[in-house]
Amino acid sequence: MSTPQIVDSHCHLDFPDFDDERADVIARAVEAGVSRMVTICTRLRLEPQVRAIAETYDPVFYAAGTHPMSAADEPLAKVDELVALTQHPKMVGIGESGLDYHYTAETADVQKQSLRVHVQAAQETGLPLIIHNRASDDDMAEILGSAHKAKPFKCVMHCFSSSAELARTALDHGFYLSMSGIAAFPKSQELRDIFAAAPVDRILVETDSPYLAPPPHRGRRNEPAYTAHTAKVGAEVFGLSYEDFAAQTTANFERLFDKVAGWAP
């Protein structure tokens, strides 16, 4: 029997955690059924290295942006700069961008400025915006909501672990929610309930590796192969077989990241 195919919609393969065995990590992912991975550039000056990984490994695609926790330390991204990067056939998303008031509340103003640049790039290119949100639900809802009303865009709330209210707001805009290893933690029942209330055709899965490894690997380095562990929990949340949940989230990914679906080596 063949292994069900799933997608790791968000990982960080350029991080030094993988430097010694990047090829092996990607091979293990493919063996586990992870047919595609989107590796995320969090500082635009590192985009060439992230792009090179996508160019080297057939299952890997990439997105680029300025992470909110780095927004004050990096030059402010420009819309035309982000738009130009999307000319690459394997550059498939804008971000991750967003707001993080848990660790970097003191840079809220520049984070908002950076987020609006990324939103505009998503509006202009039609590629999905990849959002990081932590402890900033009200500002996030206001910025994304007003921008979407002005000019609709596609979006995924990556590693979603926010409130049920923000989940409903995001879903009302047609956005997607991505399930990370956090959703598989034993104490995350409230988060699983939020996912369970969402339409299953709006759910993605991810690792955010090297962070947030799901059980049974919690506390150790995460890697794309472990998408399968989170997806098994996701299948239980939605009352589906693993095979059906894998197929559904893959279809969801291809609908949102349609540039991936249309790519041929």
Binding site listing for a divalent metal cation:
10, 12, 96, 132, 158, 208
The residue with tokens 């988060």 is 191
Rounded (5°) CA angle 251-53-215 = 60
What is the H or E stretch that residue 47 is in? Answer: helix 47-56
State how far the Cα of 212 lies from the Cα of 229, in Å rounded to an integer: 12
State how far the Cα of 102 lies from the Cα of 105, in Å rounded to an integer: 6
Buried b (16+ CB within 10 A) or exposed e, 194-215: bbeebebebbbbbbbbbbbbbe
State how far the Cα of 17 lies from the Cα of 212, in Å rounded to an integer: 13
What is the H or E stretch that residue 50 is in? Answer: helix 47-56
Phi then psi dihedrals of residue 212, to 5 deg: 60, 45
State how far the Cα of 61 lies from the Cα of 10, in Å rounded to an integer: 10
Binding-site annotation, residues:
10, 12, 96, 132, 158, 208
Residue 44 neighbours by CB under 8 Å, 6+ apart: 64, 65, 66, 74, 75, 77, 81, 82
